Amino acid sequence: MKRRQFLQTAGIAGVATGLAAPAIAQDKRTWNMVTAWPKNLPGPGVAAQMLADRITALSGGRLEVKLHAAGELVPGNGVFDAVSEGTAQLYHAVPSYWGSKSRGILLFGSQPFGLRADEQLGWLIHGGGQALYDEIYGRFGLKPFLCGNSGPQWQGWFRNEINSVDDLKGLRFRTTGLASEMCAKLGMAVQAMGGGDMFQGLQSGTIDAGEFIGPWTDSALGFYQVAKNYYWPGVGEPSSAEECAVNKAAYDELPEDLQQAVAYACESLYNPVWTEYSTKHAAALKQLVAEQGVQVRQLPEDVIVAMGNAAGEVIAELREDDDELVKRIVESFLAYRAGISEYMVYADNGQMNARALDYKYGG
């Protein structure tokens, strides 16, 4: 799909309603999935279609899921409410979009200086995170599942170079989730917008920089055409989980085997989606540099440290939230992060540092 087609659907529009009730005939159901993405957008749009197809396949066709891209039936930022209210049966999006519902939700999507993709799943499965995820979404009549991850995101596309913390002050920057709170503490003017609007903002100069996902998705949206400085590491989102949330009443009405089909479809796609992002990000980055003149730049260390301190302030505020459930979520996250971080110094960090040394390998 061409970038122009993405831009026509990637922006977030007004509210629309009117989806038909799910069809049930001879034990066959048809569910509507609404998404936060343009149809087949490389990365999340592709993953959403994979999920719809997998639920249908695992159910043996007894639960057919029809995908509706952002803006087709409801706007991208309206999918949470549409499923909560029963207008649609399930959605595909990211938890980072729902901070207005509860700041605790944001921790299930990404955390500045937080968990990697494998650690995020580890927290949910082995660290008590899923029970908390269920509890907070249950307030809104939803049953949530993680169903993919983009892996490490990039710090983003900048019209001008960043040489010091002072260069961040007043910078008009597109981001989302807890990363937006971190950036605001550094004096950045944070903007919330879809990918298409981000392209237009960079092109017109109404924003100075922005991050979306990573090379594969970002190249499809054409950001390299209007900003050549591509910065890493994306400390605001060391990973970004994708989720499927199901209307809980609709989920509870399913027979047990179809509930398992939905749950397993989500679980079984986490690694395929994550590894597809990683593989295609790597290929897309080489192409962006070789063919589009993109300048890959590393954030200065003092900027990273300043961002880390700002992120620490955000987490400290979450620990003092008025909502007791939010407090329990952040304490669970911090406990898991502490334990896994201590181990990863010896495990994955050690392996990656060793692999990066200068030695002959493979001829």
Could you state, in order of their start, the residue ranges of all structural domains in the chain? 3-151+238-279, 156-237+293-339
Residue 9 has pLDDT above 60, yes or no: no
Helices (H), the chain: 3-10, 44-58, 79-84, 103-106, 117-126, 129-138, 177-185, 195-204, 215-221, 248-253, 256-292, 301-319, 324-344, 348-355
**Residue 178: what pLDDT?**
97
Q: How confident is the model at residue 4 (pLDDT cuts 50, 70, 90)?
A: very low
**Residue 27: what pLDDT?**
85
Q: How confident is the model at residue 363 (pLDDT cuts 50, 70, 90)?
A: confident
**Residue 22: what pLDDT?**
54
Residue 195 has pLDDT above 70, yes or no: yes
pLDDT (tens digit per residue) in 111-154: 999 999 999 999 999 999 999 999 999 999 999 999 999 999 99
Q: Is 203 flagged in the annotation as binding?
A: no
The rounded distance, in Å, linking the Cα atoms of 206 and 215 is: 23
The topology under which CATH files domain 156-237+293-339 is D-Maltodextrin-Binding Protein; domain 2 (3.40.190)
Q: How confident is the model at residue 3 (pLDDT cuts 50, 70, 90)?
A: very low
Query: Do residues 361 and 139 make contact, with C-beta atoms less than 8 angstroms apart?
Result: no
Q: How confident is the model at residue 26 (pLDDT cuts 50, 70, 90)?
A: low
Look up the pTM and report it: 0.91
Question: Dihedral of CA 42/43/46/49: which sign?
Answer: negative
Report the interhelical angle of 117-126 vs 129-138 (nearest 10°).
80
Q: Give the closest residue to 95 by CA, choosing from 53, 148, 32.
A: 148
Q: Is 174 flagged in the annotation as binding?
A: yes
pLDDT (tens digit per residue) in 252-281: 999 999 999 999 999 999 999 999 999 999
CATH superfamily label, 3-151+238-279 = Bacterial extracellular solute-binding protein, family 7 (3.40.190.170)
Write out the two tokens for 344: 């990863």
Query: Do residues 212 and 195 make contact, with C-beta atoms less than 8 angstroms apart?
Result: yes
For residue 77, the number of C-alpha atoms closer than 13 Å in the C-beta half-sphere is 16
Residue 8 has pLDDT above 60, yes or no: no
**Residue 7: what pLDDT?**
42
**DSSP states of 310-337 as a string?**
HHHHHHHHHHT-S-HHHHHHHHHHHHHH
Q: Give the closest residue to 84 by CA, choosing from 28, 29, 136, 12.
A: 136
Residue linked to tokens 């495990």:
347
Helices (H), 93-206: 103-106, 117-126, 129-138, 177-185, 195-204
The rounded distance, in Å, linking the Cα atoms of 267 and 183 is: 32
- φ, ψ of residue 77 to 5 degrees: the values are -85, 5
Q: Is 212 flagged in the annotation as binding?
A: yes
Residue 15 has pLDDT above 70, yes or no: no
Question: Dihedral of CA 65/70/74/79: which sign?
Answer: positive
Q: Would 3-151+238-279 and 156-237+293-339 be classified into the same CATH topology?
A: yes
Q: Measure the CA angle with vertex 147, ends 141 and 149; round to 5°.
A: 125
Q: Is 237 flagged in the annotation as binding?
A: yes
**Ramachandran quadrant class, 151 (left: phi over 0; alpha: psi -120 to 50; beta: rest):** left
Taking all residues of the chain, what is their mean pLDDT, rounded to a whole number? 93
pLDDT (tens digit per residue) in 70-84: 999 999 999 999 999
Question: Dihedral of CA 6/77/236/152: which sign?
Answer: negative
Q: Measure the CA angle with vertex 261, ends 216 and 259; round to 5°.
A: 120
Residue 10 has pLDDT above 70, yes or no: no
